Amino acid sequence: MSDAAKPLDVIVAGELFVDLILGGFEFWPQPGQEAFAREFHREAGGGAAITASGLAALGSRTGLFGVVGADWGPWLVGRMRRAGVETSPVLFHPDEPTAFTVAVTTPRDRAFFTYPGANRRFAPALSEAAAAQQFAQARHLHLACAPELDSAVELLAALRRNGCSLSLDVGWHEDWLGDSRAFAIVRLVDIFFPNELEAQKITGENASEAALRRFAAEGVNRVALKLGSCGAALLWDGEIVRATPHPVVPLDTTGAGDCFDAGFLHAWLHGETPAACLAAANICGALSTEAYGGIAGFPDAARIARELKGHTCEK
């Protein structure tokens, strides 16, 4: 099937959660202390849900793949449908509950307490879906997960046989990033999306440009590097582009990196230049911090267009 004939631009695959977000604390409690939240929100969570919602908000035809339970699963699927995401690829596990995270957040810090639940089934389900060519309906597959190191090369080869391009955001998985096999895995995707700490862990380099040069030396050609309040940087086929920080007053940083991914992928799938993709990603990530949760805070396409007019990237 040609790209033009495919019903979806992108499928986002990853672990799915219900996020219980607590905010507005007067202080950060130490062990044994109690602090009271002034804000509570329930939201669909995990990098896959946030990135998929952002892509749909921008107008990309977006599907979601993951595993949920019968308890909160229908609520989570309904939430994603209301965000404009195609949820038919989502699987329901008959026994495991939906994974959930209690997220304690302030404008400058956050902590997560998580129960994995049905996500224990995600890795074998992804392999089975790849073998069954279930991702052939999309132009692109974004993996918001850390594929199992022992089988990642085989998995990525199977996903390639679905006829879609690939991107990867593993998140903070310290053992995965520090493993000597990581370079061989990220070399096999079209775009890799680490943040600054993740890039440092995988490359051993503290400076962002040195980390990107190390990726290039290892044969990783395209890396979109999230630098938080310092903006972003991009390695693209040997060239490095930088985006300056976008000014915002942050309320909650949950999901900002996943929103960055959505902005970049939407622009890339619609034929924008690498610099324009980085600028869009940088703005999406920054603006998402103005509200609680990555989904609620994602800006609409009209605001991104306005903000892009005054935003530049440089080599």
What pLDDT was estimated at residue 305?
79
Q: Which two tokens stand for residue 308?
A: 């892009």
Nearest to 280 by CA among 268, 295, 264: 264
pLDDT digits (tens, 9 = 90+) for 43-102: 899 999 999 999 999 999 999 999 999 999 999 999 999 999 999 999 999 999 999 999
Nearest to 147 by CA among 110, 192, 114, 113: 192
Q: Which two tokens stand for residue 74?
A: 């229908």
Q: Are 151 and 176 in contact (CB under 8 A)?
A: no
* Residue 91 DSSP label: E
What pLDDT was estimated at residue 173?
95
Q: Which residues pair with 8 in a beta bridge?
A: 138
Q: How far apart are CA 229 and CA 213, in angstroms?
A: 21
What pLDDT was estimated at residue 310?
61
What pLDDT was estimated at residue 313?
63
What pLDDT was estimated at residue 234?
98
> Residue 44: helix, strand or coil by DSSP?
strand
What pLDDT was estimated at residue 8?
98
What pLDDT was estimated at residue 294?
76
CB count in 10 Å sphere of residue 193: 29
**Helix pair 152-160, 122-131: axis angle to 10 deg:** 40
What pLDDT was estimated at residue 27?
87
Residue ranges, the chain, pLDDT below 70: 293, 310-315
* Residue 219 DSSP label: T
**80: part of which helix (H) or strand (E)?**
helix 73-82
Q: Are 192 and 223 in contact (CB under 8 A)?
A: yes
Q: Are 76 and 68 in contact (CB under 8 A)?
A: yes
Q: In this structure, are strands 138-144 and 165-168 parallel, antiparallel, or unpaired?
A: parallel
* Residue 271 DSSP label: T
What pLDDT was estimated at residue 311?
63
* Residue 294 DSSP label: T
What pLDDT was estimated at residue 314?
61
Report all structural domains of the chain as residue ranges with CATH numbers, in order of start: 3-15+46-90+117-314 (3.40.1190.20)
Rounded to whole angstroms, what are the CA distances from 283 to 8, 47, 301?
24, 18, 11
What pLDDT was estimated at residue 21?
85
What pLDDT was estimated at residue 87?
98
pLDDT digits (tens, 9 = 90+) for 217-234: 999 999 999 998 899 999
Beta-carbon-side half-sphere exposure of residue 214 (alpha carbons within 13 Å): 15
Q: Which two tokens stand for residue 111?
A: 């902590």
0.85 exceeded by the pTM? yes
What pLDDT was estimated at residue 300?
78
- Dihedral pair phi/psi, residue 156, rounded to 5°: -65, -35
> Residue 274: helix, strand or coil by DSSP?
helix
